[in-house]
Amino acid sequence: MILITGAAGFIGSALTAYLNEQGLTDLILVDDFSIPAKRPNWIHKRYRYLVERHQLWDWLKAYASELRAIFHIGARTDTFLQDEATFHELNLTYSQKLWMIAAEYQIPFFYASSAATYGDGTLGFSDDEKLLPALKPLNPYARSKHQFDLWVVSQTHTPPRWAGFKFFNVYGPNEYHKGAMSSVAYRGTLQILQENELRLFRSYRPDYRDGEQKRDFIYVKDVVQVLYFFLVGEAPSGIYNLGTGRAESFLTLGEALFRAMGRPARIRFIDMPEAIREKYQYFTQADVRKLRSVGYTQPFHSLSEGVEAYVREYLWPNLRYW
């Protein structure tokens, strides 16, 4: 059995879909399944058990010894929320407890970290674990993820294999419930459909023109292929960046959206909220040399390729789930 936390969420449900496509159905899906907006993400998946998040510990007492692997994808991901206690409970304490069970029962353990742990990016985006103590995340969500990374690399009692993945800007099917935390690709498609234009933030730095702020955008189908590679392979334990290794602009993203929908580009630049101007990242780009060095050779979608596939296969003209 393979256990997936956050299985009703974005990346967790995409991972479930991909594992189903590989013929794996002996899955334990863990989440809060009472949320109606998430129901389409899991209702048609193939699995053995659904386990409510608060019941996981009791379930593990009975079945932990039967698990082949744990994918800990579930987390509180709201970057606007300032409640440190909530993130400490859900992203740190919960993760530590699950890690200790994986170590006790010697279950391979793979978990979601975040590129948000890199803070403003001034220290670069290397996943060399020796650099972890120097990082300065900018919000409570990122700090909780960073605290768990630091805790993990300090442990001497570990699962037999483990990996943490610093997800960069992930977009793709099944993110529709995330609201303001959904990708610009999804929210931009809705804007175009409703208003026939796309709004992007102006730049407040002279070295970046409007729309030329850059991110490492990665299609969720590329993400789950990497996770599967770690499941079936023998890659060394450690923390890995999970991005494409290529920064691309929001303008490129916007133009791809219009192209996928067969419409002329209409992009309008708007003021960035003052509350985030000082903490806004103008550039992110994963250093993926570690991932490549352990044998992962599959190419990643370019931003244009991924966005056009996402729009045409899942968003337009009708919304579809994976």
Catalytic residues: 141, 178
Q: For residue 136, what are the CA distances in angstroms to 68, 90, 116, 118, 287?
A: 35, 20, 10, 7, 18
Calpha distance 24→47 (Å, rounded): 8
Name the 3-class secondary structure at 155. coil
Token pair recorded at residue 198: 């796309």
For the beta carbon of residue 58, count every other beta carbon within 10 angstroms: 11
Cβ 216 vs Cβ 286: under 8 Å: yes
Cβ 116 vs Cβ 141: under 8 Å: yes
Query: Residue 265 burial (CB < 10 Å; 0-12/13-18/19+)?
Result: middle
